[in-house]
Chain A
Amino acid sequence: MFNDRQYRKKELGAMVLSKKLAALLASIFFVAVLTAGCGGSSSTANKSDSAGPVTIKVAAWNDAADSLKAEIEGFQKKYPDIKVEMQYVDNNYTKIMPRLASGSEVPDVIQTQNRDFPAFMKKFPGEFVDISDKVAKLKDKFVDSSWDPVTVDGKVYAMPWDLGPSAIFYRTDMFKEAGINVDAIETWDDYIAAGQKIKEHFGGKVAMTGYAPDFDIFEIGFNELGGNYATKDGKISLKSDQAKQALTLYKKLVETGTAIDIKDWNGRITAIKNNKIASIPFGVWFAGTIANSAADQRGKWGVMQLPAFTKGGNHSANLGGSILTITKQSKNQDAAWKFIEYCLATDEGETVMLKYGLFPSYKPFYDNAAFKNKDEYFGEPLYQFFAKQTDAILPIHRGPIMLDADKPLKDMISGVIAGRNIDEAIDTAAQEIAKKTGLTVQ
């Protein structure tokens, strides 16, 4: 114990000292900040592409990342000097976005959804490499519509990866039990009627399909009808008859109990595993997920055309699909391109992709034997079926809006399900997108 006087003396000493210490602390802090600042720029050595082995970093998500990882072995046989390192990121871009914004630790190659890429070009200008020269010889070999989202002002900034021709995956056993004839399902109304049969037959324990708080089912309908999010001169064109019809369908699916709330992606898988849903309108890429997560339901799944809005209407829609882009930060842009080219524009590369259910935009591969093979899980030549769907897919213009449109579109749908007027909900969404993107509503 100090007595009072001793204590005061100590305190006084501490005060004098504290000034020096404050200065010391400040200088340490300053140095720390300085060195931290230097850290970023000191690693800009080694610009050369050719000398010695190089490593490229590739960021992708889920099955797509798995497929790229599976490509590495074959790729390295061809290019032993290029090492590839996969980085698993999330498809909401929360891991990749801070790196792009700060410009540090940016991977050489980045995956984005094809619909989001124009928005990336707008929000991160000058971050992606112009590959127009490299893809010039490949132009005709890819599905025409796949070049739209990667082309800005006539220049190509990314490589189209997969497409998402859509169909309905359904449980053949459940349909048979409930007495549903698949060939008789021509329109969405037929689909809903079949849904009632499923519900009745299984005593409410099985629903026709499920919905999550996204806009996938809306987009399938919107694309079937030929709707566009934006005009070619950059105006928001969501306010349209197509949007209204697609939303009306969505509302009907939910209200009739044809679609139940399955919360999210994982909820959908759980519902499939537990035999809670009998069908899923989705893109071709979902085939792999079904096969992987419900291996015991092998032989019980089939695919059928999407229903149309009217008899004889359009049965085709695209949902999803991705691109790969090279970043300006990359020190090995040529190596990065070699990897992309190998994966997406060679038969060897696409054979691996197909194993992961990624449907190629690269047309020469449609003649490959692997493409025509019977799918073991589904028991039919799955990809040929989807290839037939691609012909009638209508192009969809989006403009650089999809990152900003994501929430307004989700809000629009959940609002309509909660009972909002459809016209009003579309109007609100269009205004909100316009506000966030700075574009005008048509």
Chain B
Amino acid sequence: MKQTVVKKITPYMFILPFFLIFCIFLVYPIFESFYLSFTAAEGSTSSWVGLDNFRQIFSDALFWKSMLNTVIILLVQVPVMLFLAFLLAVAVNNKNIKGRSIFRLAIFMPVLIDLVTYSIVFSIIFNDQYGVLNYILLMLHLPGIHWIQNPIWAKVTIIIAITWRWTGYNAIILLAGLQSIPDSIYEAADIDGVSGVKKFFLITMPMLKPIFLFCAIMSIIGTLQLFTEPFLLTNGGQPDNATETPVLFIYQYAFQSFHFGYASAAAYVLTAIVAILSYLQICVSKGGEI
């Protein structure tokens, strides 16, 4: 009897450390920040203000500008990235390429590089004075671009950076999707005399739809939480807040001027927006079913 109890408890003991840490570092902060969002907590001071923070956020021009920035980045970046990722996935799925596994590893590499490192490297590449990019432009007799000082180019810089980082990752996921399509479907189509283009649009695309949806949702959620790149690459959302993002906004309120209450409220507004967007996306595409 005793032994069986031990046996039964053992697996729970293994997951116990995780749940302890999970509760202390995730569950507790979630509730604490929910409480904070109804207070004017600032530094070590605090007072209950009810819904005031939320009212202020809804009329905070900077918060909505940061949302708008993210949406602009998202609308350009996610489709471009998924398109590139799909091309890459098809390419490395081709049986005629030699050393496929090396290519697969190579396109996955960017995501393994530390966020901070890559942001700093990009900030050097895009430096308008001695960055390699402007050097190449000048060699081609093109005018150099103030990548990080110009509001539009700064967004472009961010888009290029996150596309570089995440395209390979999505390509690998799409590749897994491509490989999960049974050959028998293509064979059946061959027997029916379906052309290559038609096979692509009638078989490959529909079969990949749930994977695309997964990639799109993950990318959108990821982009809405954009932080490191604008923090390091464009000096905290500069210029003129053209690359300010909601998470950066929250960080600046919480940890640069210590307005914990307001920052918590902004965090909850952002979470609500992410949740609603994800739900809508799943609804629109009917749960990703074919």
Complex formed: what's the CA distance from A28 to B236 in Å?
A: 42
Contact, CB under 8 Å: B240 / A28: no
Is B16 positioned at the interface, with any CB of A under 8 Å from its CB? yes
Is A375 positioned at the interface, with any CB of B under 8 Å from its CB? no
Looking at chain B, what size class is its interface with the partner chain?
35 or more
Chain A proximity mask over B238-249: 1 for CB below 8 Å, otherwise 0: 111110000000
Is A420 positioned at the interface, with any CB of B under 8 Å from its CB? yes
Q: Which residues of B contact A17 (CB under 8 A)?
A: 5, 8-9
Contact, CB under 8 Å: A123 / B43: yes
Contact, CB under 8 Å: B8 / A411: no
Number of A-B contacts (CB under 8 A): 99
CB neighbors of B among A25-69 (8 A): 25, 28-29, 32-33, 36
Complex formed: what's the CA distance from A260 to B43 in Å?
A: 36
Q: Which residues of B contact A261 (CB under 8 A)?
A: 127-129, 148-149
CB neighbors of B among A121-170 (8 A): 122-127
Contact, CB under 8 Å: A414 / B9: no
Complex formed: what's the CA distance from A94 to B23 in Å?
A: 24
CB neighbors of B among A237-271 (8 A): 260-264
Is A381 positioned at the interface, with any CB of B under 8 Å from its CB? no
Minimum distance in angstroms from B156 CB to a CB of chain A = 14
Q: Which residues of B contact A36 (CB under 8 A)?
A: 24
Contact, CB under 8 Å: A127 / B44: yes
Contact, CB under 8 Å: B240 / A407: no
Name the residue of chain B whose CB is nearest to the CB of A260.
B129
Is B94 positioned at the interface, with any CB of A under 8 Å from its CB? no
Complex formed: what's the CA distance from A103 to B46 in Å?
A: 14
Is B96 positioned at the interface, with any CB of A under 8 Å from its CB? no
Is B62 positioned at the interface, with any CB of A under 8 Å from its CB? yes
Contact, CB under 8 Å: B9 / A213: no
Contact, CB under 8 Å: B240 / A25: no
Given contacts A101-B44, A123-B45, contact A418 B256 (CB under 8 A): no
Complex formed: what's the CA distance from A427 to B35 in Å?
A: 34
Contact, CB under 8 Å: B258 / A403: yes
Q: For the complex, would chain A's binding face be called helix, strand, loop or mixed by DSSP majority? A: helix
Q: Which of B45, B130, B257 contacts A436 (CB 8 A)?
A: B257
Complex formed: what's the CA distance from A174 to B243 in Å?
A: 37
Q: Which residues of A contact B9 (CB under 8 A)?
A: 17, 21
Minimum distance in angstroms from B206 CB to a CB of chain A = 37
Q: Which residues of B contact A97 (CB under 8 A)?
A: 43, 255, 258
Is A13 positioned at the interface, with any CB of B under 8 Å from its CB? yes
CB neighbors of A among B172-192 (8 A): none
Contact, CB under 8 Å: B242 / A403: no
CB neighbors of A among B228-279 (8 A): 235-236, 238-242, 252, 255-260
Contact, CB under 8 Å: A417 / B149: yes
Complex formed: what's the CA distance from A111 to B238 in Å?
A: 28
Q: Which residues of A contact B238 (CB under 8 A)?
A: 213, 410-411, 414
Complex formed: what's the CA distance from A436 to B62 in Å?
A: 12
Is B12 positioned at the interface, with any CB of A under 8 Å from its CB? yes
Contact, CB under 8 Å: A418 / B258: no
Q: Which residues of B contact A32 (CB under 8 A)?
A: 20, 24
Complex formed: what's the CA distance from A127 to B44 in Å?
A: 9
Name the residue of chain B whose CB is nearest to the CB of A437.
B257
Name the residue of chain B whose CB is nearest to the CB of A101.
B44
Minimum distance in angstroms from B105 CB to a CB of chain A = 33
Contact, CB under 8 Å: A418 / B8: no
Is A100 positioned at the interface, with any CB of B under 8 Å from its CB? yes
Minimum distance in angstroms from A214 CB to a CB of chain B = 9
Given contacts A21-B12, A436-B259, contact A124 B44 (CB under 8 A): yes
Given contacts A13-B8, A17-B8, A263-B127, contact A418 B242 (CB under 8 A): yes
Chain A proximity mask over B151-165: 1 for CB below 8 Å, otherwise 0: 100000000000000
Chain A proximity mask over B57-87: 1 for CB below 8 Å, otherwise 0: 0000010000000000000000000000000
Name the residue of chain A whose CB is nearest to the CB of B262.
A436
Q: Which residues of A contact B241 (CB under 8 A)?
A: 411, 415
Complex formed: what's the CA distance from A422 to B150 in Å?
A: 16
Is A216 positioned at the interface, with any CB of B under 8 Å from its CB? no
Q: Which residues of B contact A403 (CB under 8 A)?
A: 256-258
Contact, CB under 8 Å: A123 / B44: yes
Is B53 positioned at the interface, with any CB of A under 8 Å from its CB? no
Chain A proximity mask over B117-135: 1 for CB below 8 Å, otherwise 0: 0000001000111100000
Given contacts A17-B8, A94-B255, contact A29 B44 (CB under 8 A): no
Minimum distance in angstroms from A98 CB to a CB of chain B = 9
CB neighbors of B among A399-442 (8 A): 403-404, 406-407, 410-411, 414-415, 417-418, 420, 432, 435-436
Complex formed: what's the CA distance from A101 to B9 in Å?
A: 40
18 residue pairs from A and B, CB less than 8 Å apart: A13-B8, A17-B8, A21-B9, A25-B12, A29-B19, A33-B24, A36-B24, A101-B260, A103-B44, A124-B43, A125-B44, A262-B129, A414-B238, A415-B239, A418-B239, A418-B242, A436-B257, A436-B259
Residue positions of B touching A, CB distance < 8 A: 5, 8-9, 12, 16, 19-20, 23-24, 42-45, 56, 62, 123, 127-130, 148-151, 235-236, 238-242, 252, 255-260
Q: 6 closest pairs, A vs B, by CB?
A: A123-B43, A415-B240, A213-B235, A414-B239, A418-B239, A418-B240
Residue positions of A touching B, CB distance < 8 A: 13-14, 17, 21, 25, 28-29, 32-33, 36, 92, 94, 97, 100-101, 103, 120, 122-127, 207, 213, 260-264, 276, 403-404, 406-407, 410-411, 414-415, 417-418, 420, 432, 435-436
